[in-house]
Amino acid sequence: DSCRNFHCKRGKVCHVDKQKKPSCICQDPAACPPTKDYERVCGTDNKTYDGTCQLFGTKCQLEGTKMGRQLHLDYMGSCKYIPHCTDYEVDQFPLRMRDWLKNILMQYYKRDLDTSGFLTEKQRSEVKKIYQNDKNLVAGDHAVELLLHDFEKNYHMYVYPVHWQFHRLDQHPVDRLLTHSELAPLRASLVPMEHCITRFFQECDGDQDKLIALKEWCHCFGIKE
């Protein structure tokens, strides 16, 4: 099977010609396997697709067009009304996001005490310092004032979680720059709950080059140079 070890990017499938030579062609959206309701996704064109196969197959067929360049995965689930994000809300967003990242690491660390594998040894040693800090703000829906006070008082506990999340997303390729597709796993799952996340990341891109550099990312979260 010539296609066995032949990799195609999302939206494309392997095709073998008469000479048994493999190549990548666009996935026919109509040929995508059936999906369940919970597997539906919303595109940036505000259209609901029956799964990522249909979305990326459609994007591939539009390759080279303005519509194709602008079409991305927006969020998981059918398209719904997303409220407008106000200036006040986008200013407060990094406070909640920082706290959320820190608490995800806390959860991973606690799970690792029973079953290792969530964090590497180096990551565990970094998170251990935060976990053992008796001044830790416990997970919960805290007032903005409390989150701001905790960040100012315990600044060092937030630096690693912010860097850790960037490293987690910066994978294809690892170049200290986040593309729209690298941000998608984080954005796509959070958009329905955190309606400011899209505007937040747009404003993070200070030089408007459609890439978020590590320096821009840290600046957005209030991490000093």
Instruction: Output the domain CATH number for residue 159.
Output: 1.10.238.10
Strands (E), 122-186: 177-178
Last-in-domain residue among 56, 76, 96: 76
Q: Quick one: pLDDT at residue 141?
A: 86
Identify whether 100 is part of a domain.
Answer: yes
pLDDT at 179 over 80: yes
Q: Specify whether 46 is located in the same domain as 124.
A: no
Query: Are 54 and 119 contained in the same domain?
Result: no
| CATH number for position 40 | 3.30.60.30
Residue with tokens 């000479």: 19
pLDDT in tens, 62-75: 999 999 998 999 99
Q: Which pLDDT value is given to residue 59?
A: 96
In-domain check, residue 118: yes
Please state, in angstroms and rounded to a whole number, the distance separating the CA atoms of residues 142 and 100.
Answer: 11
- DSSP E strand boundaries for the chain: 12-16, 22-26, 41-43, 48-49, 73-76, 177-178, 212-213
Per the structure block, which two tokens stand in for 113?
Answer: 């005490």
Q: Which of 76, 98, 113 is the last residue of a domain?
A: 76
- Are 18 and 3 a contacting pair, CB within 8 Å? no
DSSP class of residue 146 equals: H
Q: What is the pLDDT of residue 214?
A: 96
* Residues β-bridged to residue 178: 212
Residue 94's nearest CA partner among 194, 164, 212, 169 is 194
C-alpha–C-alpha distance, residues 104 and 160, integer Å: 12
Claim to verify: residue 59 and residue 101 sit in the same structural domain? no
Task: Check whether 177 has a pLDDT greater than 90.
Answer: yes
What sign does the dihedral 49-52-57-59 (CA atoms) show? positive
pLDDT of 139: 82
Are 149 and 210 members of one domain?
A: yes
Q: Tell me the residue ranges of DSSP E strands in 37-146.
A: 41-43, 48-49, 73-76
Do 29 and 116 lie in a common domain?
Answer: no
Q: What is the mean pLDDT of residues 149-162?
A: 94
Residue 1 domain flag? no
Check whether residue 136 and residue 208 sit in a common domain.
Answer: yes
Q: Is residue 71 located within the same domain as residue 97?
A: no
Number of domains in the chain: 2
The range of the structural domain enclosing residue 100 comes to 87-221
Q: Has residue 33 been placed in a domain?
A: yes
Q: Are residues 41 and 119 in the same domain?
A: no
* Side chain identity, residue 129: K
One DSSP character per residue, 156-193 reads: HHHHHHHHHHHHHH--TT-SSEE-HHHHHHHHHHHTTT
Closest among 166, 159, 190, 168 to 119, alpha carbons compared: 168
Q: Is the domain of 40 the same as that of 106?
A: no
> Looking at 76, 97, 122, which one is the last position of a domain?
76
Report yes or no on whether pTM surpasses 0.85: no
Three-state secondary-structure class, residue 40: coil
Query: Does residue 82 fall inside a structural domain?
Result: no
pLDDT tens for 83-135 read 899 999 999 999 999 999 999 999 999 888 777 678 888 898 999 988 888 67
E-strand stretches of 38-143: 41-43, 48-49, 73-76
Do both 41 and 95 map to the same domain? no
